[in-house]
Amino acid sequence: MDSLIQASYFLAALLFILGLKKMSSPLTARGGIIWAGWGMILATGITIFLPNMDKITLIPNLDLILVAIAIGSVIAWVTAKRVAMTDMPQMIALYNGMGGGSAAAIAAVELFQAAGPESGHGGANLSLAVIGGLIGAISFSGSLIAYAKLQGIIKKPGRFPMQQQVNFLVFAAAVALGLMIVLDVHSVSLVILMFVIALAFGIMMTLPIGGADMPVVISLFNAFTGLAVGFEGYVLGNIAMMIAGTVVGAAGTLLTQLMAKAMNRPISNVLFSSFGGGDGTGGEEVEGSMKATDTADAAIMMAYSETVVIIPGYGMAVAQAQHKVWELADKLIDRGVRVRFAIHPVAGRMPGHMNVLLAEAGVPYDLIYDLEDINTDLPNTDVVLVIGANDVVNPVARTDPSSPIYGMPILDADLAKNVLVIKRGQGAGFSGIENHLFFKDNTRMVYGDGQEVAGDLIQAMKEV
């Protein structure tokens, strides 16, 4: 029977891996989520049984476990149904933190048991429990701060003099306590203090990071959570946790590296440079002025173009304009205009945010292009329509060495023949940097709410 339980764990882990693989493409992502969901159901269901010599028994406190699962499932179902697409990054940060917190809780139980007066065992399992507990606690508190930043609860980065040095000392203290626990397990006080300091470090590590780097930070904490779960899987001897945690940790690490590469910044720079949340000052002086146009002229410009590229950003998500934008694109396609969507890797507030929004609106996947696939075509494009994007189309990334985003690969919208920008007002982007694209001679601003402007463009298109 023990073999059947272990085989079930292995099957669950296999479903996790295959599900994650299918999630790599928008075409198969839904199926991947379903596969991974069945894997989780299998792993959770089989966990209630314990092998006991020649028979199988139920685990202790099963009634409390079932109540906790029921409460958690109801909360998850209700919140997932109600959450707006604009709030999806916050939800991911929050749920990711819950995973890290769960791993830390498992480690705490193991460490408290090891610290009891009747115990004294240490070894590899204790060391892994300490490592997993540290990583899980940091991911938990750090993800909560990331959630608060994205939700607007924390509006400005929290910074103070010598912050990184203080953070290093706090982290070193947590590691030192972990070593002391491994060497002398008979101290509940050390275990509690280690977790308190690790939680504090997660908060202090995330507070100074600007909002523009939150997608990378969320991805990094996702990797942390996966690693913590993997370590605790080894501690518990649970194959499903080992494999699933390792896979999630590896996927999160690779995604973090890819996103940092997309910003042309090392991860250390993301964590320690405090980029984002600036006041828009500094760098090259802006030349020219923003030139407004109305929806009628903008519609005429696009209707009589041969090629149009639409660049969405977080502003489109805020306005919930993705359906209207696709309706506009569909009208253009009906007129014989070649329409494509260009996606920057870090557009939005989480990895793949724009892809999710466009898929929700029904945009065919073959019309969506990544940065490296479409940038060479932008100089020959008649009209680029920017809706809600800001920093990812800012040309100072190519021209101003003093800019925080200098060297970051951008969508070369400014090189197109004409640029239309749908924007609520004249404020700077999420990073606080003034966008020089808006002042270019070939750029025209269409001010207003993204959904309303897109609707007006559709109406104007019908009259052309």
The reply to whether 327 falls in a domain is yes
Distances (CA, A) of 75 to 18, 96, 102, 270: 27, 15, 16, 33
Q: Which pLDDT value is given to residue 1?
A: 61
Q: In angstroms, how far is CA 282 from the centroid of its own chain?
A: 29
More confident residue, 427 or 226: 226
The reply to whether 122 falls in a domain is yes
DSSP conformation letters of 164-207: HHHHHHHHHHHHHHHHHHHH----HHHHHHHHHHHHHHHHHHHT
Contact 435, 428 (CB under 8 A): yes
Give the pLDDT confidence of 233-275 residue by residue, as tens digits. 888 887 888 888 888 898 888 888 887 877 777 777 666 655 5
Q: Report the alpha-carbon angle 330-331-333, nearest 5.
A: 65
The reply to whether 287 falls in a domain is no
The reply to whether 286 falls in a domain is no
Q: How many structural domains are present in the chain?
A: 3
Tokens 């109801």 label which residue? 74
Q: Are residues 230 and 366 in the same domain?
A: no
Q: Which pLDDT value is given to residue 185?
A: 66
- Structural domain containing residue 17: 1-82
Contact 231, 100 (CB under 8 A): no
Q: Which pLDDT value is given to residue 280?
A: 47
34, 50, 82 — which closes off a domain?
82
What is the C-alpha separation between 398 and 261, in angstroms, rounded?
15
* Structure token pair of residue 155: 């509006």
Q: For residue 453, what pLDDT band results from cuts at 50, 70 and 90? A: very high
Taking Cα atoms as reference points, which of 349, 318, 311, 298 lies closest to residue 464?
Answer: 298
Q: Are residues 268 and 363 in the same domain?
A: no
The reply to whether 283 falls in a domain is no
Mean pLDDT of 132-161: 87
pTM of full prediction above 0.85: no
The reply to whether 288 falls in a domain is no
Give the CB-side neighbour count of residue 346, counting CA atoms within 13 A. Answer: 30
Catalytic residue of the set 294, 377, 391, 456: 391
Q: For residue 286, what pLDDT band results from cuts at 50, 70 and 90? A: low
The reply to whether 289 falls in a domain is no
* Structure token pair of residue 290: 């923003």
Mean pLDDT of 177-204: 89
In the annotation, is 391 catalytic? yes
Q: Which pLDDT value is given to residue 426?
A: 61
More confident residue, 395 or 433: 395
Q: For residue 53, what pLDDT band results from cuts at 50, 70 and 90? A: very low
Mean model confidence pLDDT for the chain: 84
Contact 106, 236 (CB under 8 A): yes
Q: For residue 51, what pLDDT band results from cuts at 50, 70 and 90? A: low
Which CATH number fits the domain that encloses residue 383? 3.40.50.1220
Q: Are residues 47 and 121 in the same domain?
A: no
Residue 384 has pLDDT above 90, yes or no: yes
